[in-house]
Amino acid sequence: MHIAIAGNIGVGKTTLCKMLSKHYKWNPLYEAVDHNPYLDDFYNDMQRWSFNLQVFFLNSRFRQVQDILKSKKTIIRDRTIYEDAYIFAPNLQSMGLMTQRDYENYLELFKLMESFVSPPDLLIYLRSDVPSIVNKIQNRGRNYEEGIRIDYLKRLNERYEAFFESYNHNNLVIQANEIDFQKNKEDFGLIIEKIDSNLSGLF
């Protein structure tokens, strides 16, 4: 079984992934952040490094999908390949931070990969407003995230909402700015209840 978590930067995907993997004894797969050679450069000069960053993420997530297909275990991951293609890349292009030529090249590559990809059995969307996201980003203190633009986060949020309006596979929406699942056991318990209820219909 394949479970995935989606959501804007800093919303708590990795934290929830760790907590759910521990609770359910699922195998976690994490986004390649610490070993990403482009993140620092990207946040310093988005226009110059946007295409390089997106191709790196696309390659990394496609490899993860291949690992999931080979595995007989239940896998949970903290980002999906769909977010790269339907949220981050078009957002960069629309903001003038990725050229049309690079964007079209990127989409062709994604379409090829997509033919080998199946949607997760459950996609959990952590929804949050921008002020809450900014607060979480500041609290975790990653140096390369200090220069993230507010309008960039706002546009990403808008694209996430549009994506999930049209997403027609099994999904669960969690209002992340209304709960604290990391520190409050009751809030985490509510997420568990919703996941259990959702997954019970799959078997």
According to the model, what pLDDT value does residue 34 have? 62
Share of the chain above pLDDT 90, in %: 60
* Annotated active-site residue in 34, 40, 45, 78: 78
Number of domains within the chain = 1
Per DSSP, the three-state class of 148 is coil
Q: Average pLDDT for residues 112-121, to the nearest whole number?
A: 90
With bands split at pLDDT 50, 70 and 90, how would you rate the model's confidence at 16?
A: very high
CATH of the domain at 161: 3.40.50.300
**Which residue did the predictor score with more confidence, 99 or 34?**
99
CA dihedral 27, 188, 30, 139 (to 10 degrees): -150
Mean pLDDT, range 145-151, rounded to an integer = 78
Q: What's the chain's average pLDDT? A: 90
- Asked whether the predicted pLDDT for residue 98 surpasses 80, the reply is yes
What digits encode the pLDDT tens for the residues 26-85? 999 887 666 788 888 888 898 999 999 999 989 988 988 888 888 889 999 998 999 999
Average pLDDT value for residue range 10-36: 89
Structural domain including 57 reads 2-200
The dihedrals phi and psi of 113, each to the nearest 5 degrees, come to -65, -35
pLDDT at 141: 67
Alpha-carbon span 76 to 71, nearest angstrom = 12
Residues with Cβ within 8 Å of 29's Cβ and at least 6 positions away in sequence, in order, are 64, 67, 68, 75, 76, 77, 78
* pLDDT reported for residue 33: 64
pLDDT for 64 equals 86
Q: What pLDDT digit, counting tens, does each position of 152-187 carry? A: 899 999 999 999 999 999 999 999 988 989 889 999
For residue 19, the SS3 value is helix
Q: Is 78 a catalytic residue?
A: yes
